[in-house]
Chains A and B, each alone.
Chain A
Amino acid sequence: MPNFSSLEQQPPSSGERATLISQHAAVATRGAEGVGQLVAGMVRAQRPPSPQRLDELARLEAAAVLAANVPPVPSVTPGLAGASAEKRGTVDAGHAAPVADADQAAALAADAREKLASIHNAPHNAGAPNGVN
């Protein structure tokens, strides 16, 4: 019959214990870093955008507005663009209101900037819940 008691009496190895503590330290460190990254993301999401960022967003939005209003350009390279591009070239002009005027584009950008500013200054987004910004 095997002698199990001799196995049970094996003293815990201090080297093994040190290895396990080190292993747990590595797990805890990665875990704490993971929490830190998410918290940093949450802080960034709560921070109101800078004026430069607002301008950038306004430009992007204005460009999107312009792109939505410019009628599709008929394909000049049917071999590359294929039938779908040619079809897009036949869109009813009544649905497209091209914005060719620079003043109009500037006005659209200003409008977009104003809308964005009002969104970002809304009370629900004014700052951190504890009032510390």
Chain B
Amino acid sequence: MLKRLLGIVMPGDPQARRAEMYREIIRGFARMGGTLFGPVPEGTRREFFCLDEHTWVWHEEWTDTNGLRHARTTRYDIRPHGIFKAQDGQPYQPIGLEEAQRLHTAAYRYSQQVQAAAAQAAA
């Protein structure tokens, strides 16, 4: 609690600064992840990223033909007995093979890109 309070009072606190830096890194990779499946259409915001070892997130915002803005967040949970997804607060449901294969392709490409960025940052 004290640490949390100090984090608000002192943004320069190394731990809070490190956490903010990590979030900012993930935001950057999320934008990169959104481009893994080709160019993002004009007016669409697409993000895909690894939240943690067992969670992948897909977020998309777009405007329909009537000018209405839509947003959809899909969260994939990797559990020992299968892959489950939840969309916009709906209950979790298992995904089929086709969707799982697409998720795997995306996750693999994402990890390759992040590894390349890590090698570049370390050089």
Contacts and interface: CB of A to CB of B under 8 A. Distances in A.
A36 B104 contact: yes
B100 A42 contact: yes
Give the most central of A4, A21, A22, A128: most B CB within 10 Å. A21
A110 to B, nearest CB: 33
How would you classify the secondary structure of chain B's contact residues: helix, strand, loop or mixed?
A: helix
Contacts, number: 113
Contact of A24 (B78, B96, B97, B114): B114
Instruction: Decide if the interface of chain A is mainly helix, strand, loop or mixed.
Output: helix
Interface stretch (B9-17, B38-46, B66-74): B9-17
Interface residues of B, number: 38
Interface in B22-57: 22, 25-26, 29, 50, 52-56
Interface of A: 4, 6-10, 12, 14, 16-18, 20-25, 27-32, 34-36, 38-39, 42-43, 46, 128-130
